[in-house]
Amino acid sequence: MLRNGLEPWHLLIVILVAVILFGSRKLPDAARALGKSMRILKSEAKALREDEETAPTVRPGGGEGAAATPADAAGAPRAPESRAPGQAR
């Protein structure tokens, strides 16, 4: 009867193939690089999630409580509006 899932001999075959392909000297470096990549991916995903939670919502067309531009939402100073000399507000 066939069972779904991994059995111990499946893992042995995978390990044996990895040792044959990469050699025993490169496996620790490969595992270290994989672990570092996983940590970076995890931290970037967490930062992205936090950014989405704290980002203000901007409604199209403005309105009360809506930021006019992304710079306004971030609290960045706005550039002065340019006018031709002699023009009034």
Q: What is the largest CA-CA distance in the chain?
A: 91
pTM of the model: 0.41
Rounded to the nearest angstrom, the gap between the alpha carbon of residue 6 and the centroid of all alpha carbons in its chain is 31
- Encode 5-36: b = buried (16+ Cβ within 10 Å), e = exposed: eeeeeeeeeeeeeeeeeeeeeeeeeeeeeeee
| 75-84 residue pLDDT tens | 555 555 556 6
Q: Token digits for 53? A: 């939670």
| 20-76 residue pLDDT tens | 888 888 888 888 999 999 999 999 999 999 988 887 766 666 555 555 555 555 555
Residue-range domain boundaries for the chain: 24-53
Query: Mean pLDDT lowest for which of 4-8, 15-19, 32-36, 67-71?
Result: 67-71
Overall size of the chain counted in residues = 89
